């Protein structure tokens, strides 16, 4: 916006945004609308000013919620108007914006399942014999239940943290191997790249480790924290996370997909 008045400022400036769906229905509620920056303008909320002989601008960020395009791409019209007190006429003026049509694509909707093996086989500290060490397993399955592709998915850390040891024994865990989608991969436990996850599909990462002692896990906890959602849960591309108590890894196939399945204990009890 340019204020060409030689002495007086534009006052009371406001940007009135309108996002319309293909049927012409106002759909601002399906987007997170954030003012990223203003330049020379003091504001765009009805209190804005632009000094004489100056040019101002504002940058607005639109983030679609999942409901904006649930299953197929939808085109929205982004427009509205600008209102301000004209320094030439000293009257309020409303200028319509030329709308721009943008296509909003469906979002991914990711759900994380962690599988932690309950019983870990190693040496029993209560016997004289040395029992064999049998590898245990930790797995992460990422479901994309949405209709948009999740691109370049990365889990920064899958490493479990043991916060309490009931018997106070010294236990060593060693990572001995990992798979991604059933194929051997050097995943490590940090910065795990799952790649692109197409709509309505899953990706599976598995880690194998050994324990120096026999034991079992008796309690589990996992948490999901949204770092940059503007306080709007509908912006998150991850809808939830669960941690399952895994018994063994099994194969249940009507048609072999090359991936393991998991037998889990979903109702935890004393037995």
- Claim to verify: residue 96 and residue 144 sit in the same structural domain: no
Of the CA atoms within 13 Å of residue 148, those in its CB half-sphere come to 22
- Claim to verify: residue 7 and residue 85 sit in the same structural domain: yes
Round the average pLDDT of the chain to a whole number and report it.
88
Domain that includes residue 10, residue range: 2-104
Name the residue with tokens 């479990």.
160
Cα–Cα distance, 238 to 200 (Å, whole number): 14
- Claim to verify: residue 130 and residue 90 sit in the same structural domain: no
- Claim to verify: residue 217 and residue 119 sit in the same structural domain: yes
For 104-123, give one letter per residue: b (16+ CB within 10 A) or e.
Answer: bebbbbbbbbbbbbbebbbe
Q: What angle do CA 104, 30, 59 make, to 5 degrees?
A: 70
Which of 76, 104, 132 is a domain's end point? 104
pLDDT tens, position by position, 1-27: 999 999 999 999 999 999 999 999 999
What pairs with residue 197 in β-bridges? 150
- Claim to verify: residue 91 and residue 124 sit in the same structural domain: no
- Claim to verify: residue 197 and residue 181 sit in the same structural domain: yes
Which of 68, 87, 104 is a domain's end point? 104
Q: Say if 270 falls within a structural domain.
A: no
DSSP state of 87: T
- Claim to verify: residue 177 and residue 53 sit in the same structural domain: no
**pLDDT of res. 78:** 97
Q: Say if 271 falls within a structural domain.
A: no
CB 118 within 8 Å of CB 161: no
For 161-174, give one letter per residue: b (16+ CB within 10 A) or e.
Answer: eeeeeeeeeeeebe
CB 70 within 8 Å of CB 95: no
- Claim to verify: residue 156 and residue 230 sit in the same structural domain: yes
- Claim to verify: residue 71 and residue 137 sit in the same structural domain: no
- Claim to verify: residue 40 and residue 94 sit in the same structural domain: yes
Q: Say if 57 falls within a structural domain.
A: yes
Of the CA atoms within 13 Å of residue 252, those in its CB half-sphere come to 6
CB 145 within 8 Å of CB 186: no
Task: Residue 213: name the closest of 170, 261, 165 by CA.
Answer: 170
pLDDT bucket at 158, cuts 50 / 70 / 90: low
* Structure token digits, residue 228: 């940059």
- Claim to verify: residue 82 and residue 215 sit in the same structural domain: no
Name the residue with tokens 């906890």.
221
DSSP reduced 3-state for 234: helix
**pLDDT of res. 190:** 66
pLDDT tens, position by position, 69-118: 999 999 999 999 999 999 999 999 999 999 999 999 999 999 999 998 88
Cα–Cα distance, 179 to 7 (Å, whole number): 70
Tell me how many domains the chain contains: 2
Q: Is a pLDDT exceeding 80 seen at residue 212?
A: yes
- Claim to verify: residue 118 and residue 251 sit in the same structural domain: yes
In angstroms and rounded to an integer, the radius of gyration of the C-alpha atoms of the chain is 28
């Amino acid at each position: 916006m340019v204020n060409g008045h030689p002495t007086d400022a534009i006052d009371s400036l406001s940007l009135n945004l309108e996002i319309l769906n293909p049927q012409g229905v106002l759909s601002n509620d399906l987007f997170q609308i954030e003012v990223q920056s203003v330049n020379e303008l003091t504001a765009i909320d009805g209190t804005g000013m632009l000094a004489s002989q100056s040019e101002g601008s504002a940058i607005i960020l639109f983030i679609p919620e999942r409901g904006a395009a649930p299953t197929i791409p939808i085109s929205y019209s982004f427009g509205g108007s600008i209102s301000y007190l004209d320094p030439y006429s000293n009257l309020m003026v409303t200028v319509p914006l030329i709308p721009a049509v943008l296509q909003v694509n469906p979002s991914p909707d990711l759900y994380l399942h962690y599988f932690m093996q309950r019983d870990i086989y190693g040496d029993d500290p209560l016997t004289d014999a040395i029992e064999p060490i049998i590898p245990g397993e930790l797995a992460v399955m990422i479901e994309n239940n949405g209709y948009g592709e999740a691109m370049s998915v990365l889990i920064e850390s899958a490493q479990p943290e043991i916060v309490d040891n009931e018997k106070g024994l010294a236990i060593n865990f060693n990572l001995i191997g990992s798979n991604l989608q059933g194929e051997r991969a050097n995943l490590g436990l940090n910065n795990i790249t799952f790649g692109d996850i197409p709509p309505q599909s899953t990706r599976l990462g598995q880690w194998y480790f050994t324990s120096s002692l026999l034991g079992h896990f008796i309690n589990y906890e996992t948490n999901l924290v949204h770092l940059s959602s503007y306080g709007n849960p509908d912006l998150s591309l991850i809808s939830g996370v669960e941690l399952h108590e895994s018994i063994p890894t099994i194969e249940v196939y009507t048609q072999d997909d090359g991936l393991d399945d998991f037998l889990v204990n979903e109702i935890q009890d004393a037995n």
